[in-house]
Amino acid sequence: MTTLEPEKRRSRVSAAGWMLREWRSARGMSQMGLSQEAGVSTRHLSFVETGRAEPSRELLMRLSAALGMPPRARNALLSAAGYQPIYRDTSWEGPETAEMRHAVVLILKQHEPFGAVALNREFDVMLANAGFSRFCAMLIGPERTPSPYSVTAPPRLNLLELTFDPNAGVRPHMKNWPTVARTLLWRARAEAAAMRDRRGRELIEHLMQYPGVTELLDQPDEAGTGFVLPLELEIAGQHLSLFTTITTLGTPQDLAACELRIEAYHPADAATEALIRTIAGSS
């Protein structure tokens, strides 16, 4: 048993060094550039990357910060080197995330009667407010609509699926679908590449199988003439113009909190605001 320990340690160091090289290459950084950013000698960094030196936990944290690695990747790097991960990985339903759920519900409630949802890193709807559920029921039916303020159970609604799948119920109602979908697709691809997110890339590859999606990449994502790109919907003969904002939590300490994003839907004109308030008041 004792004779295998040095070999195991070298294997862990080599794995961590390989991860660092991969991330450094993805970021387009030289060893000298990364060593300057992290405050370590180029020689020592080279030894860490090749597995000739065992990095400390502090050094790995400095290097991962300099590389802009997302929290999940930082955890993987520390684990590869034999250290405890820095971020907890708890479920949305567990008692450890009760405070986060409470905070998210408060944010969602503040946005009523307009729609707002809490998403995980794969764009799954984890929590929704009544405004989102109301319009979701109108678009895709009540049986698939998440209950307001309750953590959803698998299989969860996925916002990207709802946007790109022609049979999901939302895409036929989007009057400017090509423009909105093109922007979402380019941004999702860029985000997955920057974060080196394998699951994100797999989701995009899945979305590319839907009709009309591949052609969206034939044109670049160019800015329009307005201050935001509106989402134009037509529901039961009524026209709605919406724009969205994304909120994240500051200084998160848990992977669920790190990867959380809250998407809020705002009326882009007075007519849409009045219509949403009227529908909310009559429901």
Residues 248 and 261 sit within 8 Å (Cβ to Cβ): yes
Lowest mean pLDDT among 21-25, 201-205, 250-254: 250-254
**Which residue type does 160 have?**
L
| pLDDT in the model for residue 265 | 97
Instruction: Round to whole Å and give the CA distance between 79 and 45.
Output: 18
Question: Between the CA of residue 2 and those of 12, 115, 282, what are the distances in Å?
Answer: 16, 59, 73
Given a cut of 60, whether residue 6 has pLDDT beyond it is no
CB 22 within 8 A of CB 49: no
Q: So what's the pLDDT on residue 1?
A: 38
CB-based contact 20:77 (threshold 8 Å): yes
pLDDT at 202 > cutoff 60: yes
The token pair at 4 is 């295998």
Query: Phi/psi of residue 56, each to 5°?
Result: -80, 165
Calculate the alpha carbon distances from 184 to 113, 139, 143, 160 in Å: 25, 20, 27, 8
Checking if the pLDDT of 85 tops 50, the result is yes
Of 228, 223, 259, 265, nearest to 244 (Cα)?
265
Q: Tens digit of pLDDT for each residue in 167-181? A: 998 999 999 999 999
As a whole number of angstroms, the distance between CA 79 and CA 40 comes to: 21
Domains of the chain, each with CATH number or no CATH = 2-80 (1.10.260.40), 95-282 (3.30.450.180)
Q: Using alpha carbons, select from 173, 175, 181 the residue that is nearest to residue 212.
A: 181
Q: What is the distance between the alpha carbons of residues 29 and 37, in angstroms, rounded to a whole number?
A: 10
Element (H, E) at 92: none
Alpha-carbon distances, residue 170 vs 83, 160, 223 (angstroms) = 45, 10, 24
How far apart, in whole angstroms, are the C-alpha atoms of residue 55 and residue 144?
49
Which has the closest alpha carbon to 240: 275, 208, 206, 213? Answer: 275
